[in-house]
Amino acid sequence: SQQGEEDPQALSIQEGENATMNCSYKTSINNLQWYRQNSGRGLVHLILIRSNEREKHSGRLRVTLDTSKKSSSLLITASRAADTASYFCAETSGSRLTFGEGTQLTVNP
């Protein structure tokens, strides 16, 4: 069953702007992962942040994790039209990934 909640459900921005997506989860986690999915395709792994980490960067991506609030955020800086996709957070407790419902990001050129 879905455990995470993502906020907002949909986000529309102009190219060059920053996009922030938030994720909340309910259980204790080993790590939290963010994935991107283009329409009708498989998921692409973006970044993994471990439960003892607070912030992680990868290129234009910045992920934060607050285990006391059971929340994470994904920031995409200087967005591009190619960033248009659905973004999912997934908590890892045990071996399975438990996904949220995702945020649909639209970047307008």
Torsion, Cα 2 79 106 4, to 10 degrees, reads 10
Binding test (CB under 8 A) with another protein, winner from 25, 35, 79, 107 = 35
Stretch that binds another protein, among 13-21, 59-67, 69-77, 86-94 (CB under 8 A): 86-94
The answer to whether 75 touches 62, Cβ cutoff 8 Å, is: yes
DSSP 61-75: EEEEEETTTTEEEEE
Binding test (CB under 8 A) with another protein, winner from 59, 68, 69, 96 = 96
Q: What mask of x and - would describe binding to another protein in positions 42 to 71, judged by CB under 8 A? A: xxxx--x-----------------------
